[in-house]
């Protein structure tokens, strides 16, 4: 074990007092400078772990970071974000090879929340410095760092014996407006919700479309463009803007592996709420589900279905969006979008989840994968399908997938494609050498691993052009396989996390709609950015807003000051979407708050329309009721989008 000398750290936006480190709300870090290829004066070893034993003394969860540089840039090349609960000593450990960026989301460890690797992958032998820090936060963050070291063994993740959630799954150590005080209060509320009747709306079509505009009916959801904008139209031909909620299900599964002691109470393991993933030994429990069971007994699922369908209709949410319960979708008879599972892979992927797209294996796997649409192809309630969600390879900014392929030792069919493309471009290897400033004896030398750092500008640009063709094949093969199975529904795209460059948009001609997830307070500029690149209609697959005034202590990706601001944010966002002539709708992530102790990967955001007790947040619910009917007026030019904005705060997310 090698001690990390905290006294050698350069403090940036950090104050030190009595061994407590207080980081600015704008973020701060302890920077450790070293020689190239070292961490804190020790040679880097991908099998070693960097370890900090930390207690977050703040009121809320926080996001700590490990930052790495292999250049002299002001901003770190790669950042690993790790979520920490408040008031709990946590072992923060990171295997050094994680800095190479081969995996985007790291497996959760006891006591830790979510861990994500962001930025441009680095080479360990070129590291110049690293830092331990805190991401920007709504307030200053104070940490106690008991020790820091580098070790060749993964440390033991021991958690303290403290109680963080009450018997209903709520945060225990604070109170707030709307907190459910006991089980009797829970039951009284839910029983009243169950008794309410679903009243079908009279101002929309049977599919939830707008009676104010009708096009030619096609029998399935389809696209239409008039003199003002693109529209969806429902099977009867009525204009339709997709207003939806992701994850419409009971949900709320907390990953309790190694942290069951944080709970005030847990029922016997045969009670509803417990779950174990099909692979691995992680244990999950859902207070969302168990609270329903407490109230309705064995009929809890049917009761939840009745309550939730009535709510969605009342709220004007006309789309059951991604990752929703298929049993609920069938029972509710509401329009929905479908996301396919298990995107085609190959035995050897090139980078993260990017497969060997020119291999026969990719073709055959795509054809098998597409068969899952067979049972759904005639469903008139389905608006369309998403091929996947946020491909991990696309998180790497400026990724040159062809250059990454040439770095690999493995034999890929895609490497054959790259070599053949370069042969066609340059004809003779001497021309390639002249352009690239290299000394290859033959094109076959390209099969030997090539460090992308030696590539000059021309080589990089050539390979970026080839990368676009690789991404196009990534889309084309499975998209065509899907159309062979299902010719009735719209292909809604990939739901990219963001689009950093035009290469990511390659293959969009095989979509009917280009989709992306847009975590912004104002989506209009992001929509326009995509439209400038692809010139096709778009749909937003995810957005949300969270606050810290009720129940949970992480805001999610976009933070606002209060529940009232969440309501303003929802209305402003949806109005701005509807005002763009290429936007077909947006889906809010999610119906439920996430569990306080974190879902499978550790997210624990206050982002729901309902809390762990299935109690509505009235502010955002009332905003949805109003907004989801106004969007048609905004889209048609009959109403100006609202100018009332929310108060923003720094987010707490990981």
What is the C-alpha to C-alpha distance for residues 469 and 458, in angstroms, rounded to an integer? 17
Residue 393: strand, helix, or coil: helix
Query: Does the structure show a pLDDT above 90 at 260?
Result: yes
Overall residue count recorded for the chain in this entry: 654
User: Residue 260 falls within a domain, yes or no?
Assistant: no
Cα dihedral 233, 238, 243, 245, rounded to 10, equals -80
Residue 20's closest CA among 134, 141, 144, 148? 144
Please report which helix (H) or strand (E) contains residue 224, including its range: strand 222-225
Query: Does the structure show a pLDDT above 80 at 73?
Result: no
Band the pLDDT of 200: cuts 50, 70, 90: confident
The predicted pLDDT at position 397 comes to 85
User: Residue 189 falls within a domain, yes or no?
Assistant: no
Residue 596's closest CA among 586, 585, 605, 583? 605
Backbone CA torsion sign across 118, 123, 126, 130: positive
Do 467 and 515 belong together in one domain?
no
Q: What is the CATH number of the domain that holds 93?
A: 2.60.120.430
Residue 115's closest CA among 50, 177, 162? 50
Query: Does the structure show a pLDDT above 70 at 261?
Result: yes
pTM score, whole prediction: 0.97
The predicted pLDDT at position 489 comes to 98
User: Residue 326 falls within a domain, yes or no?
Assistant: yes
Do 100 and 246 belong together in one domain?
no
What is the pLDDT averaged over residues 280-306? 96
Residue 478's closest CA among 350, 373, 392? 373
- Sorted by sequence, the CB contacts under 8 Å of residue 220 that are 6+ apart come out as 235, 380, 382, 488, 489
Structure tokens at 525: 């500029």
Structure tokens at 405: 């392929």
> How many C-beta atoms surround the C-beta of residue 213 within 10 A?
18
Percentage of the chain beyond pLDDT 70 is 100
What is the C-alpha to C-alpha distance for residues 476 and 483, in angstroms, rounded to an integer? 11
User: Residue 370 falls within a domain, yes or no?
Assistant: yes
Q: What is the DSSP string of 464-486?
A: HHHHHHHHHHHHHHHHHHHHHH-
Do 132 and 14 belong together in one domain?
yes
What is the C-alpha to C-alpha distance for residues 565 and 483, in angstroms, rounded to an integer? 42
Residue 190: strand, helix, or coil: helix
Q: Residue 377 carries which DSSP code?
A: T
Whether residue 568 is preceded by a cis peptide bond, meaning omega within 30 degrees of 0, is: no
What is the C-alpha to C-alpha distance for residues 622 and 626, in angstroms, rounded to an integer? 6
User: Residue 352 falls within a domain, yes or no?
Assistant: no
Q: What is the CATH number of the domain that holds 238?
A: 3.20.20.80
Query: Does the structure show a pLDDT above 80 at 280?
Result: no
Residue 344's closest CA among 358, 323, 327? 358
What is the pLDDT averaged over residues 235-258? 96
Pairing of strands 538-540, 129-134: unpaired
Phi, psi of 184 (to 5 degrees): -65, -40
Do 122 and 50 belong together in one domain?
yes
User: Residue 124 falls within a domain, yes or no?
Assistant: yes
| C-beta separation of 306 from 295 below 8 A | no
pLDDT in tens, 498-542: 998 899 999 999 999 999 999 999 999 999 999 999 999 999 999
What is the C-alpha to C-alpha distance for residues 485 and 473, in angstroms, rounded to an integer? 19
Residue 578's closest CA among 242, 131, 76, 83? 242
The beta strand positions in 323-424, using DSSP E, are 336-339, 382-386
Do 30 and 137 belong together in one domain?
yes
pLDDT in tens, 14-66: 999 998 999 999 999 999 998 889 988 889 999 999 999 999 999 999 999 99
Do 498 and 637 belong together in one domain?
yes
Do 461 and 552 belong together in one domain?
no
Structural domain span for residue 103: 2-151
- Sorted by sequence, the CB contacts under 8 Å of residue 557 that are 6+ apart come out as 519, 544, 651, 653
Do 199 and 133 belong together in one domain?
no
What is the pLDDT averaged over residues 578-600? 98
Do 439 and 573 belong together in one domain?
no
Please report which helix (H) or strand (E) contains residue 439, including its range: none
The predicted pLDDT at position 387 comes to 98
Spell out the alpha helix ranges (H) of 486-562. 524-534
What is the C-alpha to C-alpha distance for residues 591 and 312, in angstroms, rounded to an integer? 10
| C-beta separation of 443 from 419 below 8 A | yes
Q: What is the CA radius of gyration of the chain?
A: 26
Band the pLDDT of 279: cuts 50, 70, 90: low
Do 469 and 552 belong together in one domain?
no
Ramachandran sector of residue 97 (left: φ over 0; alpha: ψ -120 to 50; beta: rest) = alpha
Spell out the alpha helix ranges (H) of 140-201. 183-195
Burial environment of residue 51 by CB neighbours within 10 A (0 to 12, 13 to 18, 19 or more): buried
Residue 421: strand, helix, or coil: helix
- Sorted by sequence, the CB contacts under 8 Å of residue 200 that are 6+ apart come out as 313
Which residue among 465, 485, 505 closes a domain? 485
The predicted pLDDT at position 278 comes to 61
pLDDT in tens, 137-187: 999 999 999 999 999 999 999 999 999 999 999 999 899 999 999 999 999
Spell out the alpha helix ranges (H) of 269-400. 287-296, 300-315, 326-332, 360-370
Query: Does the structure show a pLDDT above 70 at 324?
Result: yes
Which residue among 470, 485, 500 closes a domain? 485
Mean pLDDT across the chain, nearest whole number?
Answer: 96
pLDDT higher at 242 or 72: 242
Do 614 and 469 belong together in one domain?
no
Which residue among 135, 151, 167 closes a domain? 151
> How many C-beta atoms surround the C-beta of residue 6 within 10 A?
17
What is the C-alpha to C-alpha distance for residues 641 and 652, in angstroms, rounded to an integer? 29
What is the C-alpha to C-alpha distance for residues 211 and 202, in angstroms, rounded to an integer? 10
User: Residue 271 falls within a domain, yes or no?
Assistant: no
| C-beta separation of 240 from 233 below 8 A | yes
What is the C-alpha to C-alpha distance for residues 108 and 82, in angstroms, rounded to an integer? 10
Q: How far is CA 421 from the centre of its chain?
A: 35
pLDDT in tens, 338-359: 999 999 999 999 999 999 999 9
pLDDT in tens, 531-570: 999 999 999 999 999 999 999 999 999 999 999 999 999 9
User: Residue 131 falls within a domain, yes or no?
Assistant: yes
The beta strand positions in 344-467, using DSSP E, are 382-386
What is the C-alpha to C-alpha distance for residues 96 and 40, in angstroms, rounded to an integer? 12
Q: For tokens 């969302």, what's the residue?
A: 288
Percentage of the chain beyond pLDDT 90 is 93
| C-beta separation of 386 from 515 below 8 A | yes
| C-beta separation of 409 from 418 below 8 A | no
Do 637 and 495 belong together in one domain?
yes
The predicted pLDDT at position 100 comes to 92
| C-beta separation of 604 from 595 below 8 A | yes
Ramachandran sector of residue 514 (left: φ over 0; alpha: ψ -120 to 50; beta: rest) = beta
What is the C-alpha to C-alpha distance for residues 482 and 496, in angstroms, rounded to an integer? 19
Number of domains observed in the structure of the chain: 3
What is the pLDDT averaged over residues 409-417? 96
Query: Does the structure show a pLDDT above 90 at 192?
Result: yes
């Amino acid at each position: 074990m090698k001690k990390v000398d905290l006294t050698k750290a350069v403090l940036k936006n950090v104050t030190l007092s009595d061994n407590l480190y207080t980081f600015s709300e704008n973020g701060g870090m302890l920077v450790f400078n070293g020689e190239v290829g070292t961490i804190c004066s020790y040679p880097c070893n991908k099998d070693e772990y960097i370890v900090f034993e930390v207690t977050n003394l703040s009121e809320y969860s926080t996001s700590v970071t490990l930052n790495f540089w292999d250049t002299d840039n002001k901003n770190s090349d790669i950042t690993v974000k790790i979520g920490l609960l408040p008031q709990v000593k946590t072992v923060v450990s990171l295997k050094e090879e994680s800095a190479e960026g081969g995996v985007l989301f790291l497996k959760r460890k006891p006591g830790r929340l979510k861990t994500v690797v962001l930025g441009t992958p680095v080479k360990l032998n070129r590291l110049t410095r690293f830092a331990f820090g805190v991401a920007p936060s709504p307030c200053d963050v104070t940490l106690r760092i008991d020790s820091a070291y580098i070790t060749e063994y993964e440390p033991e993740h021991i958690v303290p014996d403290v109680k963080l959630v009450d018997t209903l799954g709520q945060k225990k150590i604070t109170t707030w407006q709307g907190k459910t005080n006991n089980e009797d209060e829970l039951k009284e509320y839910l029983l009243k919700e169950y008794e309410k009747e679903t009243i079908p709306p009279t101002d929309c079509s049977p599919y939830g479309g707008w009676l104010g505009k009708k096009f030619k009916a096609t029998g399935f959801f389809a696209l239409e463009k008039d003199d003002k904008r693109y529209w969806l139209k429902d099977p009867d031909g009525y204009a339709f803007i997709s207003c939806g909620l992701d994850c419409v299900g009971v949900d709320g599964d907390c990953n309790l592996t190694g942290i069951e002691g944080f709970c005030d109470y847990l029922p016997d393991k045969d009670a509803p709420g417990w779950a174990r993933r099909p692979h691995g030994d992680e244990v999950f429990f859902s207070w969302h589900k168990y609270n329903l069971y407490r109230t309705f007994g064995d009929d809890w699922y049917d009761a939840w279905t009745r309550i939730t369908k009535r709510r969605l209709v009342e709220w004007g949410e006309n789309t059951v969006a991604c990752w929703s319960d298929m049993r609920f979708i069938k029972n509710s008879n509401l329009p929905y979008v479908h996301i396919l599972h298990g995107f085609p892979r190959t035995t050897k992927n090139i980078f993260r989840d990017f497969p060997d797209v020119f291999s026969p294996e990719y073709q055959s796997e795509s054809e098998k994968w597409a068969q899952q649409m067979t049972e759904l192809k005639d469903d008139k309630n389905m608006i369309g399908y998403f091929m996947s969600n946020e491909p991990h390879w696309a998180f790497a900014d400026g990724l040159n997938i062809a250059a990454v392929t040439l770095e690999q030792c493995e034999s890929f069919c895609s490497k054959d494609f790259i070599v053949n493309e370069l042969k066609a471009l340059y004809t003779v290897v001497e021309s390639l050498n002249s352009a690239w400033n290299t000394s290859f004896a033959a094109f076959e030398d390209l099969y030997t691993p090539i460090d992308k750092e030696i590539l000059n500008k021309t080589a990089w640009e050539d390979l970026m052009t080839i990368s676009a063709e690789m991404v196009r094949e990534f889309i084309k093969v499975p998209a065509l396989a899907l159309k062979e199975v299902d010719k009735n529904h719209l292909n809604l795209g990939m739901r990219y996390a963001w689009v950093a460059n035009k290469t990511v948009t390659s293959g969009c001609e095989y979509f009917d709609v280009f989709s992306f997830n847009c975590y912004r307070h104002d989506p209009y500029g992001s929509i326009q950015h995509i439209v400038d690149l692809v010139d096709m209609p778009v749909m937003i697959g995810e957005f949300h807003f969270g606050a810290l005034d009720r129940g949970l202590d992480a805001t999610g990706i976009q933070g606002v000051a209060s529940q009232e601001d969440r309501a303003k944010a929802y209305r402003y966002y949806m109005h701005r979407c509807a005002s763009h002539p290429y936007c077909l709708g947006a889906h809010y992530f999610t119906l439920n708050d996430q569990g306080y102790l974190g879902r499978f990967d550790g997210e624990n955001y206050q982002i729901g329309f309902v809390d762990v007790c299935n109690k509505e947040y009235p502010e955002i619910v009332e905003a949805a009721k109003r907004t989801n009917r106004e969007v048609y007026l905004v889209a048609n030019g009959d109403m100006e989008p609202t100018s009332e904005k929310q108060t923003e705060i720094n987010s707490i997310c990981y």
